Structures are given as structure tokens and as C-alpha cells.
Amino acid sequence: MKKKRIAFFDFACCEGCQLSVLQLDEKLLDLLDHVEVAAWREVMTGESDQYDVAFCEGSITRETDIHRIQNIRQTADIVVSLGSCASIGCHNALKNRWPTKKALEIVYGEQAKHFDSIPARPITAVVDVDYQVLGCPVSLTEFEAVFKCILTGQAYDPPNEPVCVECKRNDYLCVFEKGQICLGPVTRCGCNAICTAFGEPCHGCRGLLDQPNLEAAATVLTADHLHKIMDAVAHQYQLTREEVLDKFSLYNNWPELTFEEDDTHDT
């Protein structure tokens, strides 16, 4: 069988997911035995525009990004959103809580006019993707699993279980016991509870769980549902809505907390 040609592309992000993939070390070499690398800017010089599988990290934040990702989608048989920026919007979507013009002014001041920007969104919001790898940065176990699924032609569904499940399987102490607020109960697992392993609460980097109602196959929560969860958390731990919003908004801004241009938003 002809080897698949793979390529890595980056959009708005820290490129930490690509870097994490390199931390697979020797295992990466074993995995790469099954493929040919067509483009991978962080690793090698030169690139080819002939590829079958495109691993794309980062968020879409400019009109030009939209054209670029659509072009990649047309070229590749398989598109993978690599990491939470590409899959759920992640930190990039924090700016969506301000009108785009205002956000540009805050960051660039008078130079703002030179920049082109649109509300940040994950790659998954612009093109259909075939596989998602979540996490900030990606979980290497999940990357490996997805990579093998691609090679063997299998589908991969990100787990729809909360981080609590992995915490318990590892016999970690529940961080609520230490009086900390943890997003584990509403966050998708697959990270093997890496933060709670080190005594940190979960910050929700792998995104929120699917709606419990499976009739609705949508992978994104409605604003109503998110606000309900936030209110429940606020009530439970006697926090204000703003305090809970702060915790949720680190990673989970798209699309529920995205500013609507017509809305009156006091910031």
C-alpha cells in the first residue's frame, strides 16, 4: 500500500501542539515509518503541496486564514484539528468577549488600522474535520491513537466522559476535597487527568462535554446549557457568576461567550 503523505500546518497559536508531537521522541520515528512527511515547518525545510493528511493547529482569526484552511481542506483527504485552538477555539477566543475593533485597539493602539482581524474561531467552525485531537497542548496518547486510526482507516471519537473518570481510575485525590474549584466534572477527559495528577484543578482545556441529550448530535453546547452549568457551579461553591465565567472562559469561549456585534456588552 502506498504510504500516506502527511503535513502539519499552523494558524493562530503558540505552535506548542506541534512541539508536543516531537516529544513522542523515538515513538515518533516508529510512527513516521508508516508515512511520508510532505510539510512540517517546525521540523524541516521545504514543503510540498501534495499531501493526503493535514494536521492543522491554531485558530482562525483573519479572513485570509479562512481561504487558507479551505484550500487545505480541498487538497487533503483527511483533515485533523490538532489541539484545542484548532478544535474548540481555546485562548484565542478570549478576545471574542470584546468587539473586534475594540480588541484590536487594546492590543495595537494607533497601529490597529494595519491589522485585519475577525472573531477567533476553531478550524472546526470553518471546515469539516475528520479527526480531532484535543488539549492544550495535545495529549500525546490521544495523538498516537488518532494517528493509528488514520493509518488503519478507523474513526476516532474523542471520549465523552468527564475528567473525574480518569481522576478516579488513577486514585487521585479529588481537588474539591482541598477546597479548589475544578472543571473536571464538565470537561472532556482523554488527558489522563494530568493536571489533577500534580494537584492542580482542571482548567477545562479539552473543552466541555457533549450535551447529555444525544439526539442532538451537535458537539457544541448551546449558550443556555453553558450558563446553566455555570450557575450550578456558582451556586455549589458560593461564587459569583463572574468568578465562574473567569474559570470557564480560559478555554471555552467559542461560541457561547462570543461577543455579538449588535449586543450591548459592558466591558
> Which residues here bind another protein, judged by CB under 8 A?
27, 30-31, 33-34, 145, 148, 151-152, 160-162, 164-165, 168-171, 173-174, 176-178, 184-186, 199, 209-210, 212-215, 217, 232, 236
Q: Residue 8: helix, strand or coil by DSSP? A: strand
Tell me the closest approach of the beta carbon of residue 259 to another protein, in angstroms. Answer: 28
**Which of 169, 241 has the CB closer to another protein?**
169
**Which of 56, 189 has the CB closer to another protein?**
189
Task: Name 213's Cβ contacts closer than 8 Å, sequence gap at least 6.
Answer: none
**Which of 18, 187 has the CB closer to another protein?**
187
Does the CA dihedral 63-106-223-161 come out positive or negative?
A: positive
Q: Residue 25: helix, strand or coil by DSSP? A: coil
Tell me the closest approach of the beta carbon of residue 188 to another protein, in angstroms. Answer: 12
Q: Which helix (H) or strand (E) holds 56?
A: strand 53-57
Tell me the closest approach of the beta carbon of residue 114 to another protein, in angstroms. Answer: 46
Tell me the closest approach of the beta carbon of residue 203 to another protein, in angstroms. Answer: 16
**Which of 205, 208 has the CB closer to another protein?**
208
**Which of 171, 266 has the CB closer to another protein?**
171
CB atoms within 10 A of CB 14: 17
Cis peptide before 255 (omega within 30 of 0): yes
Helices (H), 139-240: 140-152, 163-169, 194-197, 223-236
Tell me the closest approach of the beta carbon of residue 209 to another protein, in angstroms. Answer: 8
